[in-house]
Homo-oligomer: A and B are copies of this chain.
Amino acid sequence: MADKYLRKFKRSLPMSLLRAREAVMKNFIPSLQEHKLSAQQWRVIRALQDENGLDISKLSVRCHLMMPSLSRIIKNLESRSLIDRRANDRDQRVSVIFLTKSGKQLYDLVAPKSVERYEDITEKFGYGKMELLYELLEELVEKVDEADE
């Protein structure tokens, strides 16, 4: 208990996670930029490709986006005719979001490049280490969330 000082950034967990995420994202961003898509907009498109016709609250959870951010993103994608919103008949408060035809086309255009980038990263880093990393990250989240105080 003698040395209660803060580690420098090199050994800061948030910083290490940040650097790793940045390094990984650098691989995906260029092909998204070619289509004027942000990483967040792409997440929404991906989620809708997985399951078309999600309401905004569900999208928010699946994409890890806060409602205000998502609200803006949907407005943007809607203005570009990549998605479509319809009111739910049973509950007029909820908007259900659908990928349009051009939204699906855009997905089909971008997805293969992302797959390539992912395979490239997996190859460079090693499949076993990738799996180990996933497990560690998952366990970290579990343990840290477990008892918040």
Measured CA separation A64–B4 after assembly (Å): 24
A119: nearest chain-B partner, CB-CB: B4
Q: Which of B16, B28, B134, B137 contacts A138 (CB 8 A)?
A: B16
Summarize A's interface: helix, strand, loop or mixed.
helix
Residues of B within 8 A of A63 (CB): 9
Interface string of A4-31 (1 = CB under 8 A from B): 1111110101111111111111111000
Q: Let me know if A148 and B26 touch, CB within 8 A.
A: yes
Measured CA separation A15–B43 after assembly (Å): 10
A62: nearest chain-B partner, CB-CB: B9
Residues of B within 8 A of A50 (CB): 8
Residues of B within 8 A of A17 (CB): 17, 20-21, 24, 137
Q: Does A87 touch B at the CB level, under 8 Å?
A: no
Q: What is A's interface to B at a CB cutoff of 8 Å?
A: 4-9, 11, 13-28, 39, 43, 46-47, 50, 62-64, 111-112, 114-115, 118, 121, 124-125, 129-130, 132-134, 136-141, 143-148
Q: Which of B125, B136, B137, B147 contacts A139 (CB 8 A)?
A: B125
Residues of B within 8 A of A4 (CB): 112, 115
